[in-house]
Structure 1
Amino acid sequence: MEGVGYEDCDIILAQDRSLDNIASSRLDSSSSDSLTSFADSLDTSSFCSISGSDSGLLAELTKLSEYGVALSGGSCCYTLQYGGEVARAGNCLFDALATALGTSESGSQVRARCVAQCRTLMQKGVLDDSIQQRIANQYAPDINSGWGVECVQEHKLLIRLTDLQQSEDAIAERTSAGLDWTTAAGTVYEELGERVDDLDSWARYMALDGSEQDDSCVVTLQYVEDGLLSVEVCERQGAFGDDLAIEVLATEYQRDIYVVQAHGSCMDEEPMLFFLPHKPLVERQSAEQLPPLFLLMKGSDWKCSGADHYDPLIAQKRMLTEGSAPYITL
């Protein structure tokens, strides 16, 4: 699942704001002749193009688009429009960020910059043992513990494409000896694969974008408390981005990145938006404070149990005027 593990982030719950408190505002411009009414320039219906049936959550996102997001201590506000849905594959984080950046970069180029920046930080010794432990906890957890929290745990393995045939032959040999396929495949891939459990293996994992240039593929072993549940071999599919990838990209682009996590309504719970901040891992080198980037993270079915897909949000800057109130101040 994409984008899991937000336990290290400061989660800020967005509170409802009354439409009556929103005053008219204008976009920043270097020329007074080019000033345009903010209400005329903003497509407040952009979120209505999102597929899904949760009208309450769509209404909340529309209010976010109208009110905007302010930063503490600042005099400006960022209004957010939906940037459109990107492909539902392992590359969605990088494709979404490429769109949010508004440059000519592709998602594959953004991914490559993430991996290159990670390797640079590794060489400089910036990334400490706690980050390596985060990687191990996410991709190679101790399956003998944690069952009070999770009902399914996963191990991610890297298998070189040149070793796939050898793996298939070994699995066939073990199934012919009486093992079921899942057990045979799990033992073979554990023996031949490389665990994603440290910075170096994480960088090799994160470099996989599903293209012809990939030299490996990802194998996912799913465990339940009773043992191995399933084995999935993902050939020619990009590796899912995660919190660490967003932090590395925040470092690369010298900008804060906010994930707006959307939880739809279910049972007695109201739809909610959470703003999850990801800051650069090292102190900014430039004195210029670049504007933040925003991504929308939502579930495929808009359920409140979680989110698994990134889409871009397009930020427009405007000045806060006296009496105006943003949707939330971060």
Structure 2
Amino acid sequence: MYSSEDCDIIMGQDRSLADMPCSLPLETSSSDSLVSIADSSFSSISGDDAGLLTELTKLSQSGVALTGGSCCYTLQYGGEVARAGNCLFDALALALGGFESGSEVRARCVAQFRKLMQKNVLLEGIEQRIANQYAPDITCGWGVECVQEHKLLIRFGDLAQAEAAIAERTDAGLDWTNAAGTVYEELGEKVDDLASWGRYMALDGSQRDDCCVVTLQYVEEGLLSVEISEGQGSFGDDLAIEVLATQYHREIYVVQAHGGGFDEEPALFFLPHKPLTEQHDAEHLPPVFLLMKGSDWRCCGADHYDPLIAQKRMLTDGAKPYITL
């Protein structure tokens, strides 16, 4: 139901993506902003988990080193961005120095992905990753998940037709959830391949969007709920981070923070996201760091990104970083 033509997803801007810088410094633009970032304490996100706050404080003080390097990066909390679908892109924009908006970062992600598609350089397994995440086979997988989701793209122009069809089926005795689920499955497009992922990831919740996302949630017994997301950007995922790593020519580390639970110690996991294609930069660009706070020890609920501001410093004799990656 969608054409394959790419649309200009950066509306109202005179400059093209090709004119925008491909790499941005990690340092902020002034000493005043560095002071304000330092004052943004990790305690504002740690809640009552004193153990996790201690680990995050150690991280900010000792920093992160790269294997074989002579410097490390101290990480300061860059503040919370809005808890909506654009959080990955807003957080990365700030982590990169704030020279672009989150909308620009998202647009660059989609444009880069389409460029990689056109060059046929994406690995074959990426399409299966997309299908597994957004259109999984719900006849299996219940030993791991208790709820599975399907994402569908619905054109705004089709919503009235969908509402009428749902009303017709509820009038015939079908409950609303099952009526809506069957109608949206008929009218919508699954996010299960490269092209549909690009269209999905382009949605930023603005008036430029021509469709919205419908989420069908399933439990083993059947359809559980139907959620229509209008005016909200599509959530970023691991593939989006890898595309952004390709765009910005550097690794992006997600620092996943989990508090202690069930007699376990709090822990930080450093999840690397490498560029999807080999990079040939003359200079090695520093990594970017994002914070993802897990809601429990099983790593569930970790779906919100905040920026970490990295400041480079030399490793002095005897100084040990928090971790060497």
1:135 corresponds to which of 130, 136, 144? 130
Question: Residues 166-245 of structure 1: matches in 2 within 5 Å?
Answer: 166-245=161-240
Change (3 A) 1:136 1:54: same
Please state how far the C-alpha of 1:45 moved relative to its aligned partner: 7.0
Amino acid at match of 2:246: T
Partner residue in 2 for 1:268: 263
CA distance in 1, matches of 2:85, 2:48: 24
Partner residue in 1 for 2:91: 96
Amino acid at match of 1:83: G
Higher normalized contact order (CA 8 Å, seq sep 6+, divided by chain length): 1
Amino acid at match of 1:304: W
Q: Any conservation in 2 of the 1:293–1:315 contact (CA below 8 Å)?
A: yes
Would you say 1:79 and 2:74 are equivalent positions? yes
CA distance in 2, matches of 1:259, 1:196: 24
Partner of 2:42: helix, strand, or coil? helix
Amino acid at match of 2:104: Q
Partner residue in 2 for 1:304: 297
Partner residue in 1 for 2:42: 47
The share of aligned pairs that are identical, in percent, is 78
Partner residue in 2 for 1:12: none
Partner residue in 1 for 2:313: 318
- Structure 1 stretch 102-111 or stretch 202-211: which is displaced more? 102-111
CA distance in 2, matches of 1:45, 1:310: 16
Q: Any conservation in 1 of the 2:190–2:196 contact (CA below 8 Å)?
A: yes
CA distance in 2, matches of 1:252, 1:124: 14
Would you say 1:114 and 2:109 are equivalent positions? yes
TM-score under structure 2 length normalisation: 0.87
1:251 corresponds to which of 240, 243, 246? 246
Write out per-residue CA displacement over residues 170-220 of structure 1, whole angstroms, 9 at most, x where no aligned residue. 000000000000000000000000000001000000000000000010000
Amino acid at match of 1:156: K
CA distance in 2, matches of 1:55, 1:109: 36
Write out per-residue CA displacement over residues 36-70 of structure 1, whole angstroms, 9 at most, x where no aligned residue. 9xxx9994872123262211111110000011000
RMSD, aligned α-carbons: 1.6
Partner of 2:180: helix, strand, or coil? helix
Partner of 2:179: helix, strand, or coil? helix
Partner residue in 1 for 2:9: none
Amino acid at match of 1:171: I
Aligned length: 290
CA distance in 1, matches of 2:46, 2:203: 28
TM-score under structure 1 length normalisation: 0.85
Unpaired runs of 5+ in structure 1? Answer: 1-35
Partner residue in 2 for 1:24: none
Q: Any conservation in 2 of the 1:45–1:62 contact (CA below 8 Å)?
A: no
Partner of 2:264: helix, strand, or coil? coil
